[in-house]
Amino acid sequence: MIDTMSSLPYDRSGLLFSGETDVRRQLTEYFDRYLAPREVQLRKRSGVDDAVKPWWSLSRYYQWVQRPEARILTKYFGTVGDFVVDENARYVPLQGYAWFFKGLRGLTTDVSLPQILKAYYSLLNSPTFSRLLRVFSDPVAGGQFNLSARFVRPIPIVNLTAIEHAELSSELALLGAAGDVLSSSWLAKSDELAKRAWGLELVSALSEMDDG
């Protein structure tokens, strides 16, 4: 992952520099050492033009990178322990994904976005969710799963912002802030809460897969 605070030549409003002359002036050493010697090759990239995508900018730039809200980050392939909360929006996954909470404006509980994400963090890092990944996703070597949207989007996820799940959401958020994250006792607790999130019948059926 990279730190978005140093993701030149962009900040949260877009390109930092007004043009090539501005880049040369503010990043003289970097420009002379890395950009100028490769200008010909950089100009050959698809979609590069001097107006919208200058030759000294990134080949691919996604505006979501500079979104200021908290998000959950994952690896491209992952399982238990491979979901983290980036509360300050400081990082960009280079080989992975950023998951944003879409229902921020429609919250029905008086909790903050970081708290909600901490709650989901506990669910996503539970053994139960790993078992769900086994059902919906493609496994790879090492017991990990493809976390692409086409695999994880169909997985049923409880709405932890709903009033009826307020207590569950609070307990999951507290678990996500615990100091023994991913210990055996933490994982056992996350599975206990998962039974309330997904229902005892589903969780029990998924648990039987471990013996299969």
DSSP string, the chain: -EEGGG-TTEETTEES-SSHHHHHHHSHHHIIIIIGGGHHHHHTSTT--SSSS-TTS-SS--GGGG--S-EEEEESEE-TT-EEEETT--EE-SSEEEE--TTGGG--SS--HHHHHHHHHHHHTSHHHHHHHHHHS-EETTTEEE--HHHHTTS----TTSGGGHHHHHHHHHHHT-TTTTSHHHHHHHHHHHHHHH-HHHHHHHHGGGG-
Residue 5: pLDDT band with limits 50, 70, 90 = very low
Report the percentage of the chain scoring pLDDT > 70: 84
Mean pLDDT of 170-197: 94
Domain ranges of the chain: 2-63, 67-211
Q: What is the pLDDT of residue 47?
A: 78
Model pLDDT for residues 37-69, shown as the tens digit of each residue: 999 999 988 878 767 788 888 776 666 766 788
Least confident of 46-50, 147-151, 179-183: 46-50
Model pLDDT for residues 16-36, shown as the tens digit of each residue: 788 889 988 988 998 999 999
